[in-house]
Structure 1
Amino acid sequence: MKSSFPSEKDAAIRDAHIRGLTIVDTIKMIRERYQMSLGEAKDLVSNHCIWQDVVQASDSLKDDIEKLI
């Protein structure tokens, strides 16, 4: 049975966003706090709903840059 309460990692990601940390700083913080690999921390943060607007904006920018190259 899944808990309706946010996980500790979820809460840490939300708190970092609320405090104004960038997505990069949030990834670094999660990596250090939970002793995760960079890839694991990046996946966890970038797949979190609170960062989706940033991820989508960067994906669009990446696509535009690739078209120019």
Structure 2
Amino acid sequence: MLGAYVLAEGLNIADGDFARAFSAYEQRLRGFMLRQQDAAMRFAASFTPRSRVGLLVRDCVVR
């Protein structure tokens, strides 16, 4: 939803100039999206541990 809102605003400001709007969209959201992706990767890693100890901890916490 956030991305759609920002893109719509950019298209409005750029008077329909897609290239300008997409560039502004990327510039405005890049940092936010990179932080969100990083957080998702860290969160996902807790469900896919790489060691037996990690598996044990995950299984105890999930129960």
Is the radius of gyration larger for structure 1 or structure 2?
Answer: 2
Name the TM-score, length of structure 2 as normaliser.
0.38
> Greater relative contact order (Cα 8 A, min sep 6): structure 1 or 2?
1
Hey, which of these two has a bigger chunk of helix by percent? 2
